[in-house]
Amino acid sequence: MGRTILIVYSTTDGQTRRICERLQRVAQEQGHRATLADLEAEPVPDPDSYGKIVIGARIRHGRHSPRVAEFVNRYRTVLESKPSGFFSVNIVARKPEKGRPETNPYVRKFLRQVSWRPTETAVFAGKLDYPKYDFWDRAIIRFIMWLTRGPTDPGTVVEFTDWQQVDAFGLAISRMQ
């Protein structure tokens, strides 16, 4: 059980899952067996059967999925008894001043809401994919981008994720004990 990691995630458009797959690869290169599980799909494996647990969650309309806090509350004792990690994926994190767990508003809010203190915490910038969004989502995101001086051209597809940062977190979760 020592070198096993459970990585649970919540994703809508797939970027958080892609980040988890990268973390899985890094952990495997470090000699771990890493299992991915979608929090929105039932059933999620019992985290107590793994040596370490990592939770990744995307932001939509200012919120993580309620499944994330539910999972944390349900398994709080297990999470507190093992090395654990948390990361959030959002578009605000593309700004350097909001790109660290201590400065990202969503990570700060999440950690205020739960009593769990992960061993390692991270925040990654997500993906902007206007052509994929429906009319209202596109309109809302364009407005937010206009407010925050980001791209507003409705054809824009940009991956803001810094994969080196993801690899560094993959090493950190492999090493935590």
Binding positions for ligand FMN, rule: CB under 6 A: 11-16, 58-62, 89-92, 126-127, 133, 137, 141
Q: Cβ 124 to ligand FMN, closest distance in Å? A: 8
Please tell me the distance from the alpha carbon of residue 161 to that of residue 149, in angstroms, as a whole number.
18
Centre a 10 Å sphere on the Cβ of residue 79 and count the other Cβ atoms it contains: 24
- For ligand FMN, give the closer residue by CB, 16 or 174: 16
Please tell me the distance from the alpha carbon of residue 172 to that of residue 177, in angstroms, as a whole number.
10
Q: Cβ 62 to ligand FMN, closest distance in Å? A: 4
State whether residue 156 is helix, strand or coil: coil
Q: Cβ 115 to ligand FMN, closest distance in Å? A: 24
Task: Kindly compute the dihedral angle of the four CA atoms of residues 100, 103, 105, 109, in this order, to the nearest 10 degrees.
Answer: 90
- For ligand FMN, give the closer residue by CB, 53 or 92: 92
- For ligand FMN, give the closer residue by CB, 14 or 45: 14
